[in-house]
Structure 1
Amino acid sequence: MDTALQTVLDEPLVARTYHASERVQRALHRMVPGGSHTYARSSDQYPEGMAPIIARGSRAHVWDVDGNELVEYGMGMRSVTLGHGYEPVDDAVCAALRAGVSFSRPSVWEASAAETFLAAVPGADMVKFAKNGSDVTSAAVRLARAATGRDLVGICTTQPFFSTDDWFIGSTAMGAGIPDAVKALTVGFRYNDLDSVRQLFTLYPDEIACLVLEPATATVEPAPGFLEGVRELCDAHGVVLVFDEMITGLRWHASGAQHVYGVTPDLSTWGKALGNGYAISALAGKRELMELGGLRTDASRVFLLSTTHGPEVVGLAAYLAVAQAYATTDVVGIMAERGQALATGVSAAAADAGIGTAVEVLGRPSCLVFATRDHTGAPSQAFRTLFIQEMLRAGVLAQSFVVSAAHTPADIETTVDAARRAFAVYARALERGTTDGLLVGRPVAPAIREHAAPRRLEPDVIEDGVS
């Protein structure tokens, strides 16, 4: 065995238990459908009995209710780029909220945030803020339908998520409760496949209002000419091009992936990292489209975004402080450096353990994920769960390897050491051809699936005997 690996394995692990987390999780399942407020955060995405309930966080570390300290990746579903408890953002929020958070008229925060955002995203003429990504993306679809007089929405079917609203969720495995007539209004194309876009326009001539896609994903960059080709096809067919910049915005560049790739959409939607974890999202785009939701139009007005909490000052103050951090620090560059070091270290650890590409780190360094494969080379949820389980045992919470600028070289070293331990167990499972005897409980399951099985929970019997 490699000497460095043996040294790591000889060091005793910190004893970690998750009993208190399990108690809180059981209570959550009784009170909250699914036991969490985001499907990707649910306990079925973690090894059974090892789903930490977070009590607090600082920089790139979190502490759970059992007192376990963990290096965290994923960072609030990719929403935290500056680290947990980043003082300049928190201080700005605290200063703002002391003067009141919600008023009967627009506040100066709305004007400042809009001015700052539009200066950062040159392709956008106007912006409107909200609290979550689904709302702004659905507003973009509504604008496109109003502007074109068409009903169909084209979505990139090889990308995972755009909105919780019916127009998108009806196209997924969790389409229960959505009328078939609504589902029929959404059609699909494939990323990096211009022919599939052309075919869509051929099948539905003059029927498509917009195309919605992420300009890039964690694992797939646009092929040469793809985004440019989509832009040209949309122009030729009078279709509104919508870029979902929820993930790419502020992880690829402060001005978004549209800046990186040099292709300007008609509308773009933003969220996640805008507030470093505080709730804020944005719809931005061309004036002639955005004004359909305003007062400078003779057309029928679009009910665009009208939310009580969209303009509250906490999210806006957080965004302004985030923008200041990006203006004075190379946040994306730091994430890229840390992510590259992590990818290099984990890949070397996998090679040292002799597991080849059974665990492979993939994607842009600022937004890394990992693939897990079984002894046949096939993607495996069971092996994924085993890897997450062993990383948790070594003090790393990793559904992905998405970093923040708060991850330090020491955090990366800790993570690579944890991976070395995990790979020793993973190698045993590969040799056996099974995770049986090594994995505790059932494997994780896709977050968006038709049925609760294979991670269906039996009702708990609570104190009064009622389940």
Structure 2
Amino acid sequence: MGTAETEETEETEEFLLPRSHAANERLHALIPGGAHTYAKGDDQYPEHLAPVISHGHGAHVWDIDGNRYIEYGSGLRSASLGHAHPRVNEAVRRELDRGSNFVRPSILEVEAAERFLATVPTAEMVKFAKNGSDATTAAVRLARAATGRPRVAICADHPFFSTDDWFIGTTPMSAGIPAATTDLTLTFPYGDLAATEQLLNRHQNEVACLILEPATHTEPPPGYLAGLRELADRHGCVLIFDEMITGFRWSEAGAQGLYGVVPDLSTFGKALGNGFAVSALAGRRDLMERGGLRHSRDRVFLLSTTHGAETHSLAAAMAVQTTYVEEGITAQLHALGARLAVGVREAAASMDVGDHVVVRGRASNLVYATLDENRQPSQQYRTLFLRQLLAGGVLAPSFVVSSALDDADIDRTVDVVAQACAVYRKALDAADPTPWLAGRPVKPVFRRLA
């Protein structure tokens, strides 16, 4: 048993991860950024305290130093059933000995499509891929083809849509992307229909689509999504919902199923495969068919990926959807998240940091903010908070729950949060968290310089 599981100390200098530190050095020597996803980089964690994972089961992961953690935000929200879920693994195992990829479609492709469209009945056709960026970029391309318009309007308040140039060019990490590409992407604020209409009027007949996450850490204002639907129709735009996060966590049919507003196109991923690589572009038949063979118009290169229909990933997706529906997983996520949110808020209030450690978001998708003495977002205080959580055996870049958590995990997390908040209070009283950082602060993913 490792340090994180067995020791409950207020200070964290003695909590070390020597094997993880050495492995991170190896990772950086061979892999740009030291990870295959920037959000998993060691710059997102306190210096020398970025655990390298050995394995995971359910809601727990073990690092190569032997420490066990209660894990939140599993696989960047992808493993919402927990790691190595038996129902998903069994479905995958059944396909592994049957071959994973063929020169023609497998019967599993139509079965997976039927299962998906039964789960998301607001869509009429679906095409599978391996990651969210492929799906969102295909949606944008399809919208441009259908409308004959060049510009894309993205929601400025949502952090990520794609690794492709049309989005990344709008971030501080825009190196290598021509300005001509970035100039075609416009932004609109979430929840503000008037500002969005002004944008569409200013670029009359130029905007191919509006793309946004239908909800994130804030619920959509009353009538907002329906108003956006009306705006898109009136201005001839394609309305795209990025449901990578909201899919399954808001309802089995995503936010569109919960709020009753139907987009023209929507994209799903993350929870869809419970860690296996699968994403989906879904939507109106007349649009989706533009990427098919049964029409007489110019063809759209919609999605064509060698590994897009690997049988084991599609089997995983089908098992995930069945599990969600039959076991009421979305309701479980909301119940677990609600219990956690209450506990964290009470713990923070008890240590007089309730205005500084702030839990936000839908119960199934909780995040937290770390605010300084002036109640402004602080990377330094985030670093302090993360160090204390790690030392207490909680790996929590967010508080996004999986259904594998149980009440004991939640209670233990709340205890660790209370300990972290006690240290947080000391730093606030000192008006300087530096003595508790033991190194550089964690950094935002999107920044111009490394």
When the two structures are superposed, what TM-score results if normalisation uses the length of structure 2? Answer: 0.97
RMSD of aligned C-alpha atoms?
A: 1.5
Q: Check whether the contact 1:18–1:52 (CA below 8 A) recurs between aligned residues.
A: yes
Q: Check whether the contact 1:16–1:68 (CA below 8 A) recurs between aligned residues.
A: no
Instruction: Report the alpha carbon displacement of residue 11 of structure 1 after superposing the two structures with TM.
Output: 10
What SS does the aligned partner of 1:399 have?
A: coil
Please give the per-residue CA displacement for 1:417-457, whole angstroms capped at 9, x wherever unaligned: 101111111110000001121111011111011111xxxxx
- Cα distance in 1 for partners of 2:95, 2:352 equals 54
- Cα distance in 2 for partners of 1:47, 1:12 equals 14
User: Which residue number in structure 2 is paired with residue 18 of structure 1?
Assistant: 17
Identity of aligned residues (%): 56
Matches within 5 A, 1:228-267: 228-267=226-265
Matches within 5 A, 1:250-399: 250-399=248-397
User: Which residue number in structure 2 is paired with residue 119 of structure 1?
Assistant: 118
User: Which residue number in structure 2 is paired with residue 40 of structure 1?
Assistant: 39
Instruction: Report the alpha carbon displacement of residue 400 of structure 1 after superposing the two structures with TM.
Output: 0.4
Matches within 5 A, 1:26-65: 26-65=25-64
Letter in 2 for 1:311: A
What SS does the aligned partner of 1:88 have?
A: helix
Instruction: Report the alpha carbon displacement of residue 12 of structure 1 after superposing the two structures with TM.
Output: 11
What SS does the aligned partner of 1:250 have?
A: helix
- Cα distance in 1 for partners of 2:201, 2:415 equals 53
Instruction: Report the alpha carbon displacement of residue 277 of structure 1 after superposing the two structures with TM.
Output: 0.7
Q: Check whether the contact 1:369–1:402 (CA below 8 A) recurs between aligned residues.
A: yes
Q: Check whether the contact 1:129–1:310 (CA below 8 A) recurs between aligned residues.
A: yes
What SS does the aligned partner of 1:351 have?
A: helix
Please give the per-residue CA displacement for 1:112-153, whole angstroms capped at 9, x wherever unaligned: 100000111111110000000000100000100110000000
Q: Check whether the contact 2:351–2:422 (CA below 8 A) recurs between aligned residues.
A: yes
What SS does the aligned partner of 1:163 have?
A: coil
- Cα distance in 1 for partners of 2:44, 2:127 equals 33
- Cα distance in 1 for partners of 2:109, 2:354 equals 52
User: Which residue number in structure 2 is paired with residue 91 of structure 1?
Assistant: 90
Letter in 1 for 2:335: E
Deviation above 3 Å: which 4+ runs of structure 1? 8-13
Instruction: Report the alpha carbon displacement of residue 22 of structure 1 after superposing the two structures with TM.
Output: 0.4
Letter in 2 for 1:269: T
Instruction: Report the alpha carbon displacement of residue 17 of structure 1 after superposing the two structures with TM.
Output: 2.7
- Cα distance in 1 for partners of 2:418, 2:100 equals 48
Matches within 5 A, 1:183-202: 183-202=182-201
Matches within 5 A, 1:424-443: 424-443=422-441
What SS does the aligned partner of 1:187 have?
A: strand
Instruction: Report the alpha carbon displacement of residue 16 of structure 1 after superposing the two structures with TM.
Output: 4.5
Instruction: Report the alpha carbon displacement of residue 76 of structure 1 after superposing the two structures with TM.
Output: 0.6
- Cα distance in 2 for partners of 1:356, 1:405 equals 27
Instruction: Report the alpha carbon displacement of residue 356 of structure 1 after superposing the two structures with TM.
Output: 2.6
Q: Check whether the contact 1:228–1:263 (CA below 8 A) recurs between aligned residues.
A: yes
Instruction: Report the alpha carbon displacement of residue 238 of structure 1 after superposing the two structures with TM.
Output: 0.8
User: Which residue number in structure 2 is paired with residue 104 of structure 1?
Assistant: 103
What SS does the aligned partner of 1:288 have?
A: helix
Letter in 2 for 1:34: G
What SS does the aligned partner of 1:37 have?
A: coil
- Cα distance in 2 for partners of 1:432, 1:233 equals 51
Q: Check whether the contact 2:125–2:284 (CA below 8 A) recurs between aligned residues.
A: yes
Please give the per-residue CA displacement for 1:73-116, whole angstroms capped at 9, x wherever unaligned: 01110111111010110111011111000000000110110000
- Cα distance in 1 for partners of 2:10, 2:41 equals 32
| Alignment coverage as a number of residue pairs | 444
What SS does the aligned partner of 2:249 have?
A: coil
User: Which residue number in structure 1 is paired with residue 79 of structure 2?
Assistant: 80
Letter in 2 for 1:430: L
Letter in 2 for 1:297: H
When the two structures are superposed, what TM-score results if normalisation uses the length of structure 1? Answer: 0.93
Please give the per-residue CA displacement for 1:151-197, whole angstroms capped at 9, x wherever unaligned: 00000011100000011111111111011110111001000000111
- Cα distance in 2 for partners of 1:208, 1:261 equals 25
User: Which residue number in structure 1 is paired with residue 169 of structure 2?
Assistant: 170
What SS does the aligned partner of 1:253 have?
A: coil
**Where do 5+ consecutive residues of structure 2 fail to align?**
1-6
Letter in 1 for 2:117: L
